[in-house]
Structure 1
Amino acid sequence: MAINKFMRLALKVLSYPDIDIRKTYPLERSIRYLRLPALLPKDRWQDHTIVSEGRKILTRIYTPEDNTGKNTLLFFHGGGWVTESIDTYNKVCDALARAARSRVISVEYRLAPEHPFPQGLDDCYAAARELFVRPKSFGFDLGRVTVIGDSAGGNLAAAVSLRARDEGEFYIPRQILIYPATYYDHSESSPFASVMENGSEYLLTSKRICEYIDLYKRDDEDLKNPYFAPLLAKDFSDQPDTLIITAEFDPLRDEGEAYGRKLRAAGSRVTIYRMRDALHGFMGLGTGYIHVRRAHALINTFLNGGERDESGR
């Protein structure tokens, strides 16, 4: 559904709260937990703990009734590296598992600012290493493994793929990046038009992204690190087949699409799809929304070997 003038007015009002997430993130987390969806039936999920370098990493495995066993999706949640969790993403991951008829393994990585970069990335990388190097530890046939994430989780998925290539411990064949953060500058000096066009009136503001970046980084040196901002990588070769889904009215739109073009130029098979009339974070709306159903269809096409163009049709 197109964004009409009344929706635009409402979005404009909602996009200007005088709140600094750098000061209020504990409250934001509490509010999100108060809104947790009802717990899913126990036969649809199970928790599994990974141990890496003496550190326990919780994962949650969603298995739909009509699981084909062909695919496993390793999922990294969004939330600006700061606010969300596997609990708050229950609905998103369960819906994805059912739509893709595949297992989804969601990772509870450590959050900033208590655990700044690269600690959350270390957890995501450890989970991926466990899947690819010791798949039998999960107790079931993983089938084909794809890493996937939305927003900050898309950033983490891209960084895990780059790091896997650089360290040479395992190879990731496919990745799905949903409105990913791939750059470090979302101020007025950003090179991307979408930051200016969509950075003040569409819920996720450029100001809020800058605050998340400040919470995630240890210092300004991190801003130059390609595992922090994947678009800064000097080498985009040997990366997975990639599906990138962006949202039309999202400040992160252009940097996500630019990352896809970099991967394509370096030889990867890349599908870039811009979701028309969509806002950042639309995957959390549920399957009653057309954008979520379209995203699920794109993911299914990608997982089963098909391709789509960049037209958004």
Structure 2
Amino acid sequence: MNPLRKALLRLLAGPRLNVREDYERVRVLQRQLAALPAPRYRTPVWDTFSDADHQRVPVRVFTPKERRRDDLLLFFHGGGWVTGDIESYTPACSTMADLTGARVASVDYRLAPEHPFPAGLADCYGAARRLLEDPRRAGLADADRIVLVGDSAGGNLAAAVSLLLRENGHRGADRQILLYPVTYWDHDPATSPFPSVRQHGADYRLTSTEIQDYFEMYVPDPEGRKNRLASPLMADDLSGQPDTLVVTAELDLLRDEGEAYGQALAAAGNRARIHRVPGALHGIITLPRFARPLRELYEVINEFLDEGASAKDAP
């Protein structure tokens, strides 16, 4: 990469965080930034329940300006399982709805460290199972239009939800979109099996130290981080998973593990497509609408949704 561009990207990545000390301030700042300017519209909030402990889970639905699809994108936000919520992801979800022409349902799952693994996963699983079993709740005639979507930690949750649905014998989603997902437990440059951790773990948007801190707050038990529901790449059986789109960012330390998960899904007999956005940093869906990586991201997502719609409409 051009050294000047590399230096500029490092500056744009922002100051490094001490995740363990700063996560509450990050949550507040994210909500404040999401509210500026004020959202163009707010939409109704559904309430659903998780299966684990009947926890009420808010789900906010975003309707596009021009609805072009019957799909419902059930979205699990990123933020390292520690930050992010319905409010801070409102701009990204509004953009997702408008650029796909589909409704987006954003799940406000519980966050670590107050609610460590598997609380957030239980909320996402409960919301997905409830909607897949009763799609009329979302105004759908059937469940084949429900697409699981997640970015970063949310991509991890989407993958884990799909594993749980199959393992428990429940109706799963036909399609899932995993955006630069966390799929593996080790992000130490000295021990990780993935070159991208060593190449990009000290620079740019997300560092090895930060993702390790997030993971440890989400799953305090070191052995628990190797659980397939925390690290989907550790799953012994990846058969019976949805058609999957995995999108990674070239300059993201999570790049290789996300692509490895897509490859593992394909090796297990699933349909999986992998797309790497060149020159992109972690967190593409939070970029402004004019940004080239965001435009490329939604070109790929729309192609994937179009292929799924064509397959379902075929005689």
The TM-score, its normalising length taken from structure 1, stands at: 0.92
Give a deviation string over 1:247-292, Cα, whole Å, max 9, x none.
Answer: 0000000000000000001111111001000000121012111111
* SS, match of residue 82 in structure 2: coil
Q: Unaligned regions of 5+ residues in structure 1, if any? A: 307-313
Cα distance in 1 between the residues matched to 2:292 and 2:11: 24
Aligned counterpart, 1:32: 30
CA distance 1:18–1:50, change in 2 (3 Å): closer
Give a deviation string over 1:96-146, Cα, whole Å, max 9, x none.
Answer: 111111111000000000001110000000110111011222345576111
Runs of at least 4 residues of structure 1 off by over 4 A? 13-18, 139-143
1:181 aligns to 2:182 (yes or no): yes
Shift of 1:294: 1.0
Cα distance in 2 between the residues matched to 1:17 and 1:41: 30
1:1-313 matches, within 5 Å, as 4-12=2-10, 17=15, 19-37=17-35, 38-42=37-41, 45-52=43-50, 53-141=53-141, 144-187=145-188, 188-305=190-307
The more displaced of 47-56 and 177-186 is 47-56
* SS, match of residue 44 in structure 2: strand
Shift of 1:54: 2.9
Shift of 1:220: 1.4
Shift of 1:34: 2.1
> What letter corresponds to residue 44 of structure 2 in structure 1?
Q
Cα distance in 2 between the residues matched to 1:67 and 1:14: 34
Cα distance in 1 between the residues matched to 2:8 and 2:69: 43
Aligned counterpart, 2:312: none
Contact 1:16–1:200, Cα closer than 8 Å, also in 2:
no
Cα distance in 2 between the residues matched to 1:139 and 1:162: 25
The aligned length equals: 304
**Percent of aligned pairs sharing the same letter:** 45
> What letter corresponds to residue 68 of structure 2 in structure 1?
T
CA RMSD of aligned residues (A): 1.9
Q: Unaligned regions of 5+ residues in structure 2, if any? A: 309-315
Give a deviation string over 1:8-66, Cα, whole Å, max 9, x none.
Answer: 22444566956421122111112222212334344x62211113443210011011132
The more displaced of 209-218 and 19-28 is 19-28
Cα distance in 2 between the residues matched to 1:41 and 1:141: 29
Contact 1:110–1:120, Cα closer than 8 Å, also in 2:
yes
Cα distance in 2 between the residues matched to 1:69 and 1:249: 32
